[in-house]
Amino acid sequence: MRTFSPKTLLVAAALAATACSPAIAAENVVEAPAAARTAKESGGLKTAIFAGGCFWGVEAVFSHMKGVKSAVSGYHGGTASQAKYDLVSSGITDHAEVVKVVYDPSVVRYDQLLQVFFSVVADPTLKNRQGPDVGAQYRAALIPVSNEQRTVAAGYLKQMSSSGKWNKPIVVQTEAAKKFYPAESYHQDFAKKNPNHSYIRRWDAPKVTALRQMYPSLYDASFQTG
């Protein structure tokens, strides 16, 4: 019998405002180390792709970071014909839910995006799951799109493994960049459009709060829409 994650079961009510308790503290918040190998990117805006479980929360955090010009939810790793929410969330495709981030490296570096990602968004010790969502479609992964990003990501994952910040092995990996497929329109800017949705209140709003508290110099109170 097919089982669905709590997020999948909630999607039918995705556009409805849901009364629920106030946001609780984000789970698995870790002060990830500052990168020993900082990113050296120049020449205008850059793009990075992150898989970190449900894309609503990944998008929400990056949309509140200074230097981020857009954060778009989508799918990565599978075919165009299967890049649809009902198929991806069922677990029958090879996609991961991802967020494509366009950023200004003169304001926020790629390695700083990594530090925030592993501090407040994704638990790098979990395989094929994040938070309440289980399945390979919710895997955490780094998807570098340039040689510089690949170098920085590889070095940072090694640094994380030896940092002692996590009490379990680091299992997150990098994946080769493939075509990015934007998710359906109702997924875009979801946290901004649906701040009282029960999933956002329970799982994602605390991540944004953690960003604000842990990285005030990188936090932007405004939400950069996709």
The residues annotated as belonging to the active site are: 54
- Is 76:96 a contact under the CB 8 Å cutoff? yes
Token code pair at residue 208: 């944004």
User: How does strand 68-76 pair with strand 46-52?
Assistant: unpaired
Q: CA dist 9 to 2, 16, 73, 202, Å?
A: 12, 13, 19, 15
Q: Which of 125, 87, 121, 83 is nearest to 101 (CA)?
A: 121
Q: Output phi, psi for 27, to 5 deg.
A: -85, 150
- Separation of alpha carbons 156 and 159, rounded Å: 5
CA 110 to chain CA mean position, Å: 14
Token code pair at residue 189: 């800017």
